Each structure stands twice: as C-alpha cells, then as structure tokens.
Amino acid sequence: MSDILNLSRAGRVLRIALNRPEKRNALNTELCRELVAALEDADSDLHIGAILLCANGKHFCAGMDLSEVATAAPAQISTAQEQLFTIGSRLGKPLIAAVQGAALGGGMGLAGNCHIVVAQPQATFGLTEIRVGLWPFLVFRALTLAVGERRVTELALTGRTFGAEEARAIGLVHEVTPDAESRAAAIASTLAEYSPTTIRAGMTFVEQARGRDWISAGEIARRVREEVFASPDFREGLRAFEEKRPPRWPSLAKDKAGE
C-alpha cells in the first residue's frame, strides 16, 4: 500500500486517513482502490470493531481528481469509484467520518457512504459536478439513502455549496463540533465495544430489507432477529442485564483472545 492512505489502530478502532493534502485529498483511481481494499480488509478483521475515516490537511475530500480524467480510461475510473461509492452498503461494521474543510462531489458521496458523520463547523458540502458538465451519477444512490432523492436532485442541479449546519439539518451530518475527529473517534470506540454479532446482523438487515415491500422486509426482520436471539452474545446480554453488570460478549472475547 502506498502513502496516499495512513492507517493506524487504537484498540478496536482502525483510523484511515486520506493523505493527498496537496490535492485536497481528491480521489484518483489509486486512492479509490486502496481505500476500498483497506475498508474491506477492516471488515473481515476480527480485531477491528469500527472504522474511523478522516483526512490529513485542510480538506476532507475535494471530489474526483479531474487531472486524471484526461489520461485515464473512463471505464477504469468508473469501476474504481463504483466500488468505493457503494462500500457503505457492503460493510458489516460501523464507518464513522470526521469531516473538515471541503467535502465536495465524490467527497460528499464518500461522507454519504458513512454510517455516522461528524463535521467541523467550517466544513462545506456540495455536489458541484454540474459546474464542469458532469452529473454525480455514482454518488447519487448513497446520498439518496442519506437525505432523500428530491434533495439530492436539487443539489445536483444547482451545484451549490452549503455549510455544516445545513448538512446536519438535511441528515447528511449527525453532529457538528470543532473537534470533529476526536468526537468521531470517541463514537467509533464506543461502537467497537458493542456485540460484533449483533452489529453485523443489524447491518445485514438494513441492507437486505432496503427497497423490499412491507411483508418481505418483515420476514427478513424475523429471520435475522431469530438468529440474534439464538446467539451467545444475546444470551450473555440477558445475563449481564439480570446481574447488573457490563456484558462480556462471547464474540468479542474470542476476538481479544486472538490478539
């Protein structure tokens, strides 16, 4: 892996930092591929319970690296970005973003793929592709899930930028705080200590039930719920509740035993 990503671990939290500050962390094909690989590796690593996505420099991500478009094959770029901008629907672990500076175009789409987003007050967002004759095709689906199709269409049509408070008002951002990365890291650390079995089951349900009719979604909910009911983690959760103590998740204990 190159130095365009910085990876580090604190407990059960993996910190992934975009590291192209001289390019405002613009997404070239190499960065897209390495980020997808890092996220997929983290998803399969039993020692990681949550992922913190952040960026070095003044800006989170300025979007697609337009300087690459003239030299790289469009299909190559699209394939790499399609993998990245659908990553949120494939992960079984929480992905928490800390956003500073600009999160534009693909950068906003990257934030939309995260399950929880914390932003600095000065952060700015926008789907600015229309200004260069492009439409945010690949990020549209994830952002629609985050804030709704009508809002994303308006943002795509106008290409306007907006601040962190509006981003929170429309549901793209969950918290606004000056120390966004510390707050996001604290959230990630808390989530990383919950039952891995239950979190993955919940994320699986969200993905499988999406777009289903009411009855089909209910059937999926019953099936996944029964699997959680039968799990050692849920039995431990009940015992811990009755004994008025913190739970010791069996799946987490196996994880720690292997460290």
Collapsing DSSP states into helix, strand and coil, what is residue 164?
helix
Residues 108, 158, single domain; the answer is yes
Residues 75, 188, single domain; the answer is yes
Residues 206, 176, single domain; the answer is no
What's this model's pTM, rounded to 2 decimal places? 0.93
Separation of alpha carbons 153 and 217, rounded Å? 27
Domain residues for 228? 196-257
The last residue of a domain, from among 175, 192, 209: 192
Residues 33, 145, single domain; the answer is yes
**pLDDT tens, residue order, the chain (259 aa):** 579 999 999 999 999 999 999 999 999 999 999 999 999 999 999 999 999 999 999 999 999 998 887 676 677 888 999 999 999 999 999 999 999 999 999 999 999 999 999 999 999 999 999 999 999 999 999 999 999 999 999 999 999 999 999 999 999 999 999 999 999 999 999 999 999 999 999 999 999 999 999 999 999 999 999 999 999 999 999 999 999 999 999 998 666 554 5
The last residue of a domain, from among 150, 173, 192: 192
Residues 200, 188, single domain; the answer is no
User: Which residues lie closer than 8 Å to 196 by C-beta, 6 or more apart?
Assistant: 46, 49, 93, 233, 249, 251, 252, 255
Which tokens is 45 given? 């690593």
Residues 13, 117, single domain; the answer is yes
pLDDT of residue 76: 81
pLDDT of residue 78: 86
Residues 118, 148, single domain; the answer is yes
Residues 38, 156, single domain; the answer is yes
Residues 213, 125, single domain; the answer is no
Q: What is the largest CA-CA distance in the chain?
A: 64
pLDDT of residue 2: 73
Residues 36, 95, single domain; the answer is yes
Catalytic (active-site) positions? 129
In this predicted model, what pLDDT tens digit does every residue of 73-125 receive, in sequence order?
Answer: 677 888 999 999 999 999 999 999 999 999 999 999 999 999 999 999 999 99
In this predicted model, what pLDDT tens digit does every residue of 156-177 receive, in sequence order?
Answer: 999 999 999 999 999 999 999 9
Residues 187, 202, single domain; the answer is no
Collapsing DSSP states into helix, strand and coil, what is residue 148?
coil
> Of the candidates 97, 117, 74, which has an alpha carbon nearest to the alpha carbon of residue 17?
97
The last residue of a domain, from among 192, 221, 242: 192
Separation of alpha carbons 16 and 13, rounded Å? 10
Alpha-helical (H) ranges within the chain are 29-44, 66-69, 74-84, 106-113, 137-147, 149-158, 164-169, 180-192, 196-209, 214-229, 232-243, 250-257
Q: Which residues pair with 61 in a beta bridge?
A: 103
Residues 41, 145, single domain; the answer is yes
CATH of the domain at 204: 1.10.12.10
User: Which residues lie closer than 8 Å to 258 by C-beta, 6 or more apart?
Assistant: 46, 47
Domain count, the chain: 2
CATH of the domain at 140: 3.90.226.10
Separation of alpha carbons 72 and 164, rounded Å? 33
pLDDT of residue 252: 86
pLDDT of residue 254: 64
